[in-house]
Chains A and B, each alone.
Chain A
């Protein structure tokens, strides 16, 4: 073994990153920057405006006539070329890369156009005519569990495709012996860390080799690779996935792009050319992924002194419209550690998987942890409130006791090391808790709303890849065979001049893994980290297969980093044996430093590192007996502790378990309800820190997202299924003004289970920060039920009660209210210089009406007073072609009429009605109107703030044209003549 155990010359130090020079110069090649073959075509995707509808027909005739369009694909093409994706549950819930027969969420991919460039492809989407039959949608998680709820997957017969019940210890006894049972229901919202770089896929089908060659920023690389190759009906190596070294953020979300990889593979095969697709922001927010929202009914059986005897959880985890592999992971990823930092032996857990008409859920940083700790730590706060105790005292009373590590938690987690009491004591001391309490008391004396929150979290890292088999019964698991483990690979190679290169399996998205690998390898080989070249690209056709490969569950520090050290040591041992022969010492006496190799007790007699490396390549005959030539070694790390779940349904969820303790002070503005973070302290025991600068970076980043989850971020849906958060102006990410700088504290309880002693650190604050802030708001307001995000309006409602109704006479309801979507109402009047009869005639004659409706391409009479029209309308920068049906009713010529109709197009749907009244006034006609419109689909998701204005604009245009039309000419004509006159210098 090396003499470098523990911290080395570079490892353990706050080193600047080797990645940064390229990124800061703007020269990093992200996926969209990568070169593509000449002739690469570009795809655009048509998406469902409906949360739930049957697809009756798709007419693509017009699309292919467009210049530059090369191909169009619908669900039928996908059905012909692929098999449905495998799913974790054996239930009839088929899913494909494009919707087949039915759409189940707003944004679901329905068709693809491939064209010469993206502009042409996006334009061509307008020409695809899809006939839908809308179906009732189910959005609310608990609504979906009702017996009469619309079924998302009718063949399953229920919106709950899986329920499992777990018991640990003797919970009935615990609840019988309790002094009090504290209950809380949590409704955790949908959110995602939304990387700034969206999905990018370039697929190139190679027909001769029958290989799908894919360049993408998929974060796999092997996760769900079998799901894709099965769908494409090919063997694993025939689906070659290549990933660039630089990825613009991931946070788990870039796993969920696999349906698009399959989609572009099929498009490339059909077209016979490479096809590129770049997701836009609306697509990402609407249709990519969300962490599952979860309803948790939690109970704690407690004694008067705050001791928790038992816990009961019932969880309803909402996976949206499809269960995409590896879903329902978030429900099971942290199953073994459901008791958190507490020594609670008795517990029941009931897990329900729930389907709704929302975007499919997937992996997002924290992976189920934010939901779990939101319920557990809110519950602990409620225990304190209901027993009249201090929350921190209640937490301390229940912590896993000092000195009891390794500690086996009730559901199976093996917490290998730690000292939770000391971590909390140190945090309170170094973070100034006593001072914060004084601050709170002072603020309260002045009548201000101030609260303190706490949260304790056990942070699991490097997941047990058998975790998802916990969803199966013991019998099913026996039948399928045991699953566990988490294998890591790193390769270190040295060339004949001593140049060192490293490839590794972690596929980072900004975490700085290349830097840490360089530190590790440099320490082992006596070189400088800048002498180590790390290539972080991955290629599934060339690199070793491990399902754990990739950047998941904060695994790098305890897995890939370890395999890097193993590989470097193999190289080192080989070089040491060669050098020892030349230096006439035994290999155990050999040292590596400053590019030289020498005997420990005779450092002056050294050989250059490069020289020894050259021997390994050029002089096989000079090598020690039995040593193969060459210098390329693969390090494999597979910790034995990650055993499959046992027959008592216990699972050791992860290899390492860190500890996080946070406390914070918040002040709430009484007038606005805004929550201001006054102070935030976060203590981390993540074992040995490999690079403290980068470790803190992970904490700051997770904290920033935690603040977003607590106060700002939510994928919001209207009751009818319309998605309302389709832009970054609607899905609110916190900026530098909203994220304060937290105080980070560390202590180090090395993990005895990994050679580097390091645990994970990237996800702790995603779990601790949302609930810590919520607990502070609870402390400030006394509120029990808090639903994130704690936006000013929600907090204002908590402290001020519901908003009072508007004063009498302000609210007008000219028309009966309509349900769902973004509702718009308006009214007004205009004076038209024509008699009511002339105005009337214009409104009921299809030819003249066509000229009055803004953006109208055609208008046909389809029945008595019923019209079908094709119109172009826009909201903001987004325009679309709609099919409109318009009906006139309640006709009282020439006095009043009711117009009702609906619009259907790629931007969504609109349904509305308007009452038009004509009253003679001064030789003309006063046309008064009141309208009400409900908008759904893309228009609703992107244009919330713009819709009112856009609608007013259309209405104004309508009346302008009406004036022009009744004056005897089409407005276009009038404008044309105005223009001509202006050009000739006559008229106004």
Chain B
């Protein structure tokens, strides 16, 4: 762990959605604020700044993490992914995102990017989840608009389609 002074700026470099980022940041700047205010990311949102709502969820070296509970300097030397990383090679929505649209899994859409990050990471490790398991995973996020029904369906449908697709491919 490098020693940091509370004033002055610290040089950091990390990989964001597959592209290198080099920046100078104040040690106290939150990662969520850095991504939004310095890098202009609009695909993470800030909902509570105390780690409960999950709107700011990113993937940190692949694992879902709350960017509001991290400092930007902690990203130094690591990999950070936001919703941009989900896009297909052509830049279109991926199957999970499309399923959210089909199943009306979002309304205001403010919580959605964070949920997509958690769901994508979860499905990588749990290709065949039950509804209860999906709900358990989603309990790390708050959505105030949808009652969660559409997003549960979207995640289950994506899991099934991926499994079926894989089976068809084999």
B159 within 8 A of A: no
Known: A119-B28, A727-B50. A24 touches B108 (CB 8 A): no
The stretch of B72-80, B144-152, B162-170 in contact with A is: B144-152
B101 within 8 A of A: yes
Which of chain B's residues 52-84 have a Cβ closer than 8 Å to chain A?
52-53, 55, 82-84
Q: Indicate if the CB atoms of B107 and A24 lie closer than 8 Å.
A: no
Q: Hey, which chain A residues are within 8 Å of B143, CB to CB?
A: 196, 704
Known: A16-B102, A24-B116, A703-B147. A736 touches B135 (CB 8 A): yes
Which of chain A's residues 721-742 have a Cβ closer than 8 Å to chain B?
727-729, 733, 735-737, 739, 741-742
The stretch of B8-16, B38-46, B122-130 in contact with A is: B38-46
Cα–Cα, bound, A737→B136 (Å)? 6
A251 within 8 A of B: yes
Which of chain A's residues 18-40 have a Cβ closer than 8 Å to chain B?
19-21, 23-30, 32-33
* CB-contact partner of B106 in A20, A280, A733, A736, under 8 A: A20
Q: Indicate if the CB atoms of B50 and A877 lie closer than 8 Å.
A: yes
Nearest to A730 among chain B residues (CB) is B52
B138 within 8 A of A: yes
A700 within 8 A of B: yes
Cα–Cα, bound, A251→B44 (Å)? 22
Q: Hey, which chain B residues are within 8 Å of A792, CB to CB?
A: none
B31 within 8 A of A: no
Q: Indicate if the CB atoms of A511 and B107 lie closer than 8 Å.
A: yes
* CB-contact partner of A26 in B108, B113, B145, under 8 A: B113
Cα–Cα, bound, A742→B152 (Å)? 13
A17 within 8 A of B: yes
Nearest to A29 among chain B residues (CB) is B42
Cα–Cα, bound, A564→B116 (Å)? 34
Q: Hey, which chain B residues are within 8 Å of A193, CB to CB?
A: 144
Number of A interface residues in the complex (CB < 8 A): 56
B112 within 8 A of A: yes
Q: Indicate if the CB atoms of A701 and B147 lie closer than 8 Å.
A: yes
Q: Hey, which chain A residues are within 8 Å of B84, CB to CB?
A: 25-26
- Of A16, A697, A707, A742, most buried by chain B (CB within 10 Å of CB) is A697
Cα–Cα, bound, A17→B98 (Å)? 11
Q: Indicate if the CB atoms of A735 and B139 lie closer than 8 Å.
A: yes
Which of chain B's residues 97-122 have a Cβ closer than 8 Å to chain A?
97-98, 100-102, 104, 106-113, 116
B142 within 8 A of A: yes
B48 within 8 A of A: yes
B4 within 8 A of A: no
The stretch of A242-250, A392-400, A632-640 in contact with B is: A242-250
* CB-contact partner of B144 in A247, A694, A696, A733, under 8 A: A733
Q: Indicate if the CB atoms of A33 and B42 lie closer than 8 Å.
A: yes
Contact with B along A695-728 (1 / 0, CB 8 A): 0110011111101000000000000000000011
Known: A16-B102, A24-B109, A736-B135. A704 touches B45 (CB 8 A): no
Q: Hey, which chain A residues are within 8 Å of B147, CB to CB?
A: 700-705, 707, 739, 741-742
Cα–Cα, bound, A510→B110 (Å)? 9
Q: Hey, which chain B residues are within 8 Å of A25, CB to CB?
A: 43, 83-84, 87, 93, 97
Nearest to A19 among chain B residues (CB) is B109
Q: Indicate if the CB atoms of B104 and A693 lie closer than 8 Å.
A: yes
B29 within 8 A of A: yes
* CB-contact partner of B110 in A17, A196, A694, under 8 A: A196
Q: Indicate if the CB atoms of B42 and A195 lie closer than 8 Å.
A: no
Q: Hey, which chain B residues are within 8 Å of A23, CB to CB?
A: 106, 109, 112
Q: Indicate if the CB atoms of B107 and A697 lie closer than 8 Å.
A: yes
Q: Hey, which chain B residues are within 8 Å of A510, CB to CB?
A: 106-110, 145
Q: Hey, which chain A residues are within 8 Å of B100, CB to CB?
A: 20, 24
Q: Indicate if the CB atoms of A30 and B112 lie closer than 8 Å.
A: no
Q: Hey, which chain B residues are within 8 Å of A24, CB to CB?
A: 83, 93, 97-98, 100-101, 106, 109, 112, 116
Taking the nearest CB of chain A, how far is it from the CB of B141, in angstroms?
7
Q: Indicate if the CB atoms of A727 and B52 lie closer than 8 Å.
A: yes
* CB-contact partner of B45 in A21, A248, A707, under 8 A: A248
Known: A30-B110, A197-B108. A733 touches B47 (CB 8 A): no
Taking the nearest CB of chain A, how far is it from the CB of B110, in angstroms?
3
Which of chain A's residues 186-200 have a Cβ closer than 8 Å to chain B?
193-197
Q: Hey, which chain A residues are within 8 Å of B28, CB to CB?
A: 119
* CB-contact partner of A281 in B47, B97, B150, under 8 A: B47
Q: Indicate if the CB atoms of B111 and A196 lie closer than 8 Å.
A: yes
Q: Hey, which chain B residues are within 8 Å of A701, CB to CB?
A: 107, 144-147
Cα–Cα, bound, A797→B107 (Å)? 38
Q: Indicate if the CB atoms of A249 and B101 lie closer than 8 Å.
A: no
Cα–Cα, bound, A877→B43 (Å)? 25
Nearest to A735 among chain B residues (CB) is B139
Taking the nearest CB of chain B, how far is it from the CB of A763, in angstroms?
13
Cα–Cα, bound, A194→B55 (Å)? 14
Nearest to A511 among chain B residues (CB) is B107
* CB-contact partner of B139 in A30, A696, A736, A742, under 8 A: A736
Q: Hey, which chain A residues are within 8 Å of B50, CB to CB?
A: 281, 727-729, 877, 942
Q: Hey, which chain B residues are within 8 Å of A237, CB to CB?
A: none
Cα–Cα, bound, A736→B156 (Å)? 14
Q: Hey, which chain A residues are within 8 Å of B36, CB to CB?
A: 32-33
Nearest to B117 among chain A residues (CB) is A26
* CB-contact partner of B107 in A28, A512, A707, under 8 A: A512
Which of chain A's residues 242-276 have a Cβ closer than 8 Å to chain B?
246-251
Nearest to A512 among chain B residues (CB) is B107
Cα–Cα, bound, A707→B83 (Å)? 30
A509 within 8 A of B: yes
- Of B140, B145, B152, most buried by chain A (CB within 10 Å of CB) is B145
Q: Hey, which chain B residues are within 8 Å of A197, CB to CB?
A: 45, 47, 108, 110
* CB-contact partner of B108 in A195, A700, A727, A736, under 8 A: A195
Q: Hey, which chain B residues are within 8 Å of A249, CB to CB?
A: 107-108, 110, 144-145
* CB-contact partner of B82 in A20, A26, A512, A741, under 8 A: A26
Q: Hey, which chain A residues are within 8 Å of B45, CB to CB?
A: 30, 196-197, 248
Q: Hey, which chain B residues are within 8 Å of A251, CB to CB?
A: 144
Q: Hey, which chain B residues are within 8 Å of A246, CB to CB?
A: 108-109
Cα–Cα, bound, A23→B138 (Å)? 19
Nearest to B147 among chain A residues (CB) is A704
Taking the nearest CB of chain A, how far is it from the CB of B67, in angstroms?
13
Q: Hey, which chain A residues are within 8 Å of B49, CB to CB?
A: 280-281
Q: Indicate if the CB atoms of A697 and B150 lie closer than 8 Å.
A: yes
Q: Hey, which chain A residues are within 8 Å of B135, CB to CB?
A: 735-737
Cα–Cα, bound, A195→B111 (Å)? 10
Q: Indicate if the CB atoms of A735 and B142 lie closer than 8 Å.
A: yes
Q: Indicate if the CB atoms of B152 and A736 lie closer than 8 Å.
A: yes
- Of A251, A509, A741, most buried by chain B (CB within 10 Å of CB) is A741
Taking the nearest CB of chain B, how far is it from the CB of A32, in angstroms?
8
Q: Hey, which chain B residues are within 8 Å of A19, CB to CB?
A: 109
Cα–Cα, bound, A702→B140 (Å)? 20
Q: Indicate if the CB atoms of B43 and A27 lie closer than 8 Å.
A: yes
Cα–Cα, bound, A81→B21 (Å)? 46
Nearest to B100 among chain A residues (CB) is A24
Nearest to B82 among chain A residues (CB) is A26
Taking the nearest CB of chain B, how far is it from the CB of A336, in angstroms?
29
Given contact pairs A25-B97, A736-B135, a sample of 20 additional A-B residue pairs in the complex whose CB atoms are under 8 Å apart? A20-B106, A23-B112, A26-B43, A26-B44, A28-B109, A30-B42, A193-B144, A196-B47, A196-B111, A196-B142, A248-B109, A250-B108, A510-B106, A510-B108, A510-B110, A511-B107, A729-B52, A736-B134, A736-B141, A741-B147
Q: List 9 A-B contacts (CB under 8 A).
A: A16-B102, A23-B109, A26-B112, A196-B108, A248-B110, A701-B144, A728-B52, A735-B139, A735-B142
Q: Which residues of B contact A (CB under 8 A)?
A: 26, 28-29, 36, 41-50, 52-53, 55, 82-84, 87, 93, 97-98, 100-102, 104, 106-113, 116, 134-136, 138-152
Q: Which residues of A contact B (CB under 8 A)?
A: 16-17, 19-21, 23-30, 32-33, 119, 193-197, 246-251, 280-281, 509-512, 693-694, 696-697, 700-705, 707, 727-729, 733, 735-737, 739, 741-742, 877, 942
Can you list the 4 inter-chain pairs with the closest CB atoms, starting with the nearest? Answer: A26-B43, A510-B108, A704-B147, A23-B109
